[in-house]
Structure 1
Amino acid sequence: EYAVRSAMGMGRVALLRQVSTESLLLALLGGTFGVGLAFGVVKLFKLIAGHAIPRLEAVTAGWAVLAWGLGAAVLAAVFAGVFPALRAFRLDPMEVLKNAGPKGTAGLGERRLLRGVTMVQTALTLALLVGAGLLIRTMVNIAKVPSGYNTGRILTMSVTEVRSYSEWASFHRHALERVSAIPGVQYAAFAWGVPLTGNNWPATLEIEGQPPATKESEKTALPLRAVTEDYFKLMGVAMLGGREFRSSDEGKTANVAIVNQAFADRYFPHANAIGRKIWLNGRDKPATEIVGEVSNGRTDDLTQEASPEIYLSLWQATAFSKHLVIRTAADPRAVLIAVERELRAVDPTAAIENPKTLEQIRDDSLASRTFAMQLLVGFSVVGSVLTLVGIYGLLSLSVASRRRELAIRSAVGAEQKDIRNLIFGEGFRLIASGVLAGIALAIVLSRILRTFLFDVQPSDPTTLIVVGTLFVGVALLACWVPVRRAAKVDPLEALRYE
């Protein structure tokens, strides 16, 4: 078309003006639709992001963002229209018309350019698909990891009560009595350091029979958690030895602690930890006796192995801000109103905040990984659709441009299967080259996701093979319509103009 207009006397400035106008019109139409779509996308973005992005509720599709997006659409469309026009200016109009044939279809140079663009698009899409596949495998691996404690049918809420010790203890004991009596409640306990909340406090550790550390850098720091009796039953944590906490383990009695198996294995590898004494935050403090050992749990991060932990009796630790943890026989949210009512009955001034199930807390701890996975899956789906459309369009253009060649092949004896294999081979070579480039690109770019991955390597061969094979299979389906169209080319009709 550019060659015809140029041969008829249309100047380059006028041609550029026409191309720019057409591109600008397309950009404005598509951009206007995109602006309307943006509001829905922002809502969807907030829905899937959850707690992965702080202050996400403040994000809106403001005018500045919309203007930037519309401007980007205009620039992209104008560039896509002007670039071919500038390229056409360097060619001889008569040569272009001669190569284009009677139908005015694209020449070999144009098809090569489009093949290059489609190959790059395929490579980028495959890299996105590999990233999404790695994150999907990560989430599957995390789901298989035994946490070491129950997460189902457990309700938590933050309860803050700042009073003297006697009043503090009275509130918590009465609260446990009233909450435990609610129909449907199996266990109730207070805890500072509920799993996956990030709540614990560090303390330095010294062990009986070992020389005290002389330097601050030599001291061992461990996370402390404080719980009431029944906590381990509630959480489904197994007692491996010794005893659980008792309601009598309070401030006036000797300090006691329960350690996990990782603690016992590290600090008492050849001895029984129960009955041994430890000092927390210096030997000038009263010693604490280890009275029990529990199984390990991934309490800080589901992707990390259990580390040594120390549990104290909450009656001795006196944590003013802590969680009330409740295990129910059915949906824990069904007892939320009754629990809050009983707590208010004990003390109307107590601060009750952030009621959540432990499953919600677990999901929140994985929010960043879940969001990254959903984001990559979304971009991968969009990219795949665009790439498949591009492959289909390129092969359709190739068939239209080679109608004369295909007709001659048919006229000299080529069968339909030969024509199909010819076009199918062109599509396969295009897809294969893009996939190979995409795998190489994915191996490089997937290292960016290393911090999000769990129990899978960035260059995991299984993911690369599965994603590559599935994409090739789907892409070959996109080639089927152009291949069938090529096989049905009528030689007489195609050569009528020759």
Structure 2
Amino acid sequence: ALAGAAAGVVLSVWGLELLKQVGARTVPRLAEVNVDLLVLVVTAVVAVGTGILFGLIPALATAKPELTEVLKEGGRSSTVGAHRNQVRNWLVIAEIASALVLLVGAGLLLKSYVWVQNVDPGFDRRHVLTVEVNLPDTKYPQRENADYREGEAMINFWNEALRRVQQLPGVEAAGFATILPLSGSNSDSSFSIEGRVVGKNEPGPDEEIRIVTPDYFRVLKTPLLSGRLFVETDNTHAPGVVIINEALAKKYWPNEEALGKRITFSNPRKPDPKWLTIVGIVRSVRHRGLDLDPAPEYYLPLAQRAESSMILTVRSAQDPGTLTSAIRREIQSIDPDQPIANVRTLETVTADSIAPRRMSMVLLGAFAGVALLLASVGIYGVISYLVVQRTHEIGVRMALGAQRSDVLRLIVGHAAKLVGIGTAIGLVLAFLSTRLLSVLLYNVGAFDLTTFLFVTIALAAVALLASYIPALRAARADPVAALGHDV
């Protein structure tokens, strides 16, 4: 028991490091988790207690054999009754059933994870570096009203930063945005649509909002469906403009052209509200998650709505990570005190967005792997013990003309019976339990037939293979030696 506990501690240390790599960005304070003295003490106590408990029960049973049981079994090799074999069999059946439930769950999560990975996010995540820049309000003040948010020093900084970054070797396009797709952040704002009256107690339109620079759509390669993108002249001295995505256009103008329509953040009932004209419609992007449908969104030009916290996005023809030092240098050449933060590629952002799914899949897969190993070892042990118990019987059968194939069929048939019962119970339990995984699945049903069939066949194959080894050893036994065998 202690040796097994020691091996378990070693595996847990390795597994914990793997877990930290998989879930470092998604599990709070995971880096602080370590295998300490308390863990070792608890492990030792559990190991010793388990060893004593499961060693004491059969020892007590063997120490007090029932006389009738002994006489009934005669000289057949053991005083262990048939009911004790049944206990072993049911333990193996339980292991097989548990392994099947865990394997089905892991299979469903794996299939769902593959589906999510292959979802089109609506943008090209390759070769894009993202850098967070936060300007202090004390150095870069801004003035806000209902229609515009002005900040001349702030806008000048963003424009100069873009100009310098765009001149770096290998840079294809650069742009700023308030929120990255799939970053876990969000911002929404209410607005009014020209010509549409909303009741006094009725909520008006409220959708997700992004503040961007003109080349942001080029960086992400977000297709323009109609109209135009922002241009440099879309500033506070020009009429207000807005770009919407396809989802917002379909929601509010399902049967008419959205281009040219106007919205406002002001109260439309007041005189001379500041209207923003829809000048472009872009393809919808999955901002909230790869497993969620694109939400209605609208984009405003940074020059008309200044923001102090922006994310620089840079598309590069080379490895985007090599641009980090150059970007930092250019930013600090404008303002030596201005740091950059949270530097990562857009591919990393995307991978982090599905990290919880990956964590669930890895954990359940690990448990399923352990369960499969235990089931294989269990059926191997039971069949090996069965072979030892029935060695004399096997010798008699072979002496009477039984072939090796008959012996194989006898032993493997017993294993197949255990596997069949365990699989049947496991399938019932899996059907009942996989509904709990429904919230974690994407494009995969909780009763996915392909997964159930594959796991059932794979588990049965592994279990029968584990039983084939002792069965083959029994089939190759010398009949003369087997006849003289006694346990």
Question: TM-score, normalised on structure 2?
Answer: 0.92
Unpaired stretches in structure 2, ≥5 consecutive residues: 142-150
Identify the residue that residue 20 of structure 1 maps to in structure 2: none
**Other structure's SS at 2:444 match:** coil
Residue 315 of structure 2 corresponds to residue 316 of structure 1: no
Identify the residue that residue 139 of structure 1 maps to in structure 2: 113
Q: In structure 2, which of residues 214, 230, 238 is the aligned counterpart of residue 245 of structure 1?
A: 230
8 Å CA contact 2:69–2:81 kept in 1: the answer is no
Change beyond 3 A, Cα 1:431–1:250: same
Map residues 280-429 of structure 1 onto 2, 5 A cutoff: 280=265, 282-283=267-268, 286-429=274-417
Identify the residue that residue 481 of structure 2 maps to in structure 1: 493
8 Å CA contact 2:241–2:301 kept in 1: the answer is yes
Task: Write out per-residue CA displacement over residues 323-363 of structure 1, whole angstroms, 9 at most, x where no aligned residue.
Answer: 00000001100111101110111112223110010010011
Instruction: Tell me how far 1:393 sits from its aligned partner.
Output: 1.1
8 Å CA contact 1:257–1:313 kept in 2: the answer is yes
Residue 178 of structure 2 corresponds to residue 204 of structure 1: no
Identify the residue that residue 147 of structure 2 maps to in structure 1: none
Letter in 1 for 2:465: L
Letter in 2 for 1:179: V
**Other structure's SS at 1:218 match:** coil
Letter in 2 for 1:257: V
Identify the residue that residue 59 of structure 2 maps to in structure 1: 85
Letter in 2 for 1:109: H
Letter in 1 for 2:25: H
Task: Write out per-residue CA displacement over residues 200-248 of structure 1, whole angstroms, 9 at most, x where no aligned residue.
Answer: 3211132112112412x52232110111011111111111111101112
For the residues of structure 1 that align with 2:433 and 2:485, how far apart are their CA atoms? 51
Identify the residue that residue 24 of structure 1 maps to in structure 2: none
Residue 26 of structure 2 corresponds to residue 52 of structure 1: yes
Identify the residue that residue 219 of structure 2 maps to in structure 1: 234
For the residues of structure 1 that align with 2:190 and 2:15, how far apart are their CA atoms? 49
Task: Write out per-residue CA displacement over residues 275-325 of structure 1, whole angstroms, 9 at most, x where no aligned residue.
Answer: 101123643562211110001111111001112111111111212111000
8 Å CA contact 1:106–1:397 kept in 2: the answer is no
Task: Write out per-residue CA displacement over residues 179-199 of structure 1, whole angstroms, 9 at most, x where no aligned residue.
Answer: 000001100001012101133
Instruction: Tell me how far 1:116 sits from its aligned partner.
Output: 0.3
8 Å CA contact 1:369–1:452 kept in 2: the answer is yes
Identify the residue that residue 120 of structure 1 maps to in structure 2: 94
Identify the residue that residue 460 of structure 2 maps to in structure 1: 472
More displaced, 327-336 or 313-322?
313-322
Instruction: Tell me how far 1:251 sits from its aligned partner.
Output: 2.2
Instruction: Tell me how far 1:66 sits from its aligned partner.
Output: 2.4
Instruction: Tell me how far 1:125 sits from its aligned partner.
Output: 0.9
8 Å CA contact 2:165–2:174 kept in 1: the answer is yes
Change beyond 3 A, Cα 1:113–1:100: farther
For the residues of structure 2 that align with 1:142 and 1:392, how far apart are their CA atoms? 38
Change beyond 3 A, Cα 1:36–1:419: closer
Aligned pairs, number: 471
Instruction: Tell me how far 1:417 sits from its aligned partner.
Output: 1.3
For the residues of structure 1 that align with 2:266 and 2:127, how far apart are their CA atoms? 36
**Other structure's SS at 1:126 match:** helix
Question: TM-score, normalised on structure 1?
Answer: 0.90
Instruction: Tell me how far 1:42 sits from its aligned partner.
Output: 2.3
Identify the residue that residue 169 of structure 1 maps to in structure 2: 155
Change beyond 3 A, Cα 1:282–1:78: farther
Instruction: Tell me how far 1:38 sits from its aligned partner.
Output: 3.6
Identify the residue that residue 181 of structure 1 maps to in structure 2: 167
More displaced, 226-235 or 29-38?
29-38
Change beyond 3 A, Cα 1:108–1:233: same
Unpaired stretches in structure 1, ≥5 consecutive residues: 1-26
Residue 247 of structure 2 corresponds to residue 262 of structure 1: yes
8 Å CA contact 1:239–1:293 kept in 2: the answer is yes
**Other structure's SS at 1:226 match:** strand
For the residues of structure 2 that align with 1:114 and 1:240, how far apart are their CA atoms? 67
Identify the residue that residue 74 of structure 1 maps to in structure 2: 48
Instruction: Tell me how far 1:448 sits from its aligned partner.
Output: 2.5
Task: Write out per-residue CA displacement over residues 24-54 of structure 1, whole angstroms, 9 at most, x where no aligned residue.
Answer: xxx3333244344443332222122232311
For the residues of structure 1 that align with 2:275 and 2:44, how far apart are their CA atoms? 68
Q: Root-mean-square deviation (CA), in Å?
A: 2.0
Change beyond 3 A, Cα 1:80–1:143: same
Identify the residue that residue 144 of structure 2 maps to in structure 1: none
For the residues of structure 1 that align with 2:446 and 2:338, how far apart are their CA atoms? 49
For the residues of structure 2 that align with 1:339 and 1:330, how far apart are their CA atoms? 14
**Other structure's SS at 1:53 match:** coil
Identify the residue that residue 146 of structure 2 maps to in structure 1: none
**Other structure's SS at 1:118 match:** helix
Residue 206 of structure 2 corresponds to residue 221 of structure 1: yes
For the residues of structure 2 that align with 1:248 and 1:261, how far apart are their CA atoms? 24
Identify the residue that residue 95 of structure 1 maps to in structure 2: 69
8 Å CA contact 2:166–2:172 kept in 1: the answer is yes
Letter in 1 for 2:185: N
Change beyond 3 A, Cα 1:100–1:447: farther
8 Å CA contact 1:105–1:400 kept in 2: the answer is no
8 Å CA contact 1:202–1:224 kept in 2: the answer is yes
8 Å CA contact 1:100–1:107 kept in 2: the answer is no
Residue 125 of structure 2 corresponds to residue 151 of structure 1: yes
Instruction: Determine what percentage of the aligned residue pairs are the same residue.
Output: 35
**Other structure's SS at 2:274 match:** coil
8 Å CA contact 1:411–1:491 kept in 2: the answer is yes
8 Å CA contact 2:328–2:339 kept in 1: the answer is no
Instruction: Tell me how far 1:120 sits from its aligned partner.
Output: 0.3
For the residues of structure 2 that align with 1:478 and 1:277, how far apart are their CA atoms? 71
More displaced, 197-206 or 30-39?
30-39
For the residues of structure 2 that align with 1:88 and 1:214, how far apart are their CA atoms? 83
For the residues of structure 2 that align with 1:180 and 1:425, how far apart are their CA atoms? 72
Q: In structure 1, which of residues 191, 197, 200 is the aligned counterpart of residue 177 of structure 2?
A: 191
Letter in 2 for 1:404: H
